[in-house]
Homo-oligomer: A and B are copies of this chain.
Amino acid sequence: MKIFVAGSTGRVATELVNRLIKQGHDVIGGARHPENNVKSPQVTPVKLDLHASVAELSALIGKVDLIYFTAGSRGKDLLQTDAFGAVKLMQAAEKNGIDRFIMLSSLNSLEPEKWNQPGLTDYNIAKFFADNYLIHQTKLNYTILQPVNLTEEAGTGKVTFGDSAVTTNPIPDVAAVLAELPQYPNTARKVIIMRAGDQPIATALQALA
| Chain A residues within CB distance 8 Å of chain B | 53-54, 78-80, 83-84, 88, 112-113, 121-122, 125-126, 128-129, 132-133, 136-137
Contact = CB atoms under 8 A, between A and B. Distances in A.
25 contacts: A53-B113, A54-B112, A54-B113, A78-B79, A79-B79, A79-B121, A79-B122, A79-B125, A79-B126, A80-B121, A80-B122, A80-B125, A83-B125, A83-B129, A84-B112, A84-B125, A84-B128, A84-B129, A88-B112, A129-B129, A129-B133, A132-B133, A132-B137, A136-B136, A136-B137
Contacts of A132: 133, 137
Number of copies of this kind of chain in the complex = 2
Contacts of A88: 112
Among A80, A129, A136, the most chain B Cβ lie within 10 Å of the Cβ of A129
A60 to B, nearest CB: 17
A129 B78 CA distance: 13
SS of A interface (majority): helix
Contacts of A125: 79-80, 83-84
A139 to B, nearest CB: 13
Contacts of A136: 136-137
Contacts of A133: 129, 132
A136 B87 CA distance: 15
A125 B78 CA distance: 10
A53 B116 CA distance: 12
Give the 3 A-B CB pairs with smallest separation, nearest first. Answer: A129-B129, A79-B125, A84-B125
Contacts of A79: 78-79, 121-122, 125-126
Given A83-B129, A132-B137, A136-B137, 9 more contacts: A54-B113, A78-B79, A79-B79, A79-B122, A80-B125, A84-B112, A84-B125, A84-B128, A132-B133
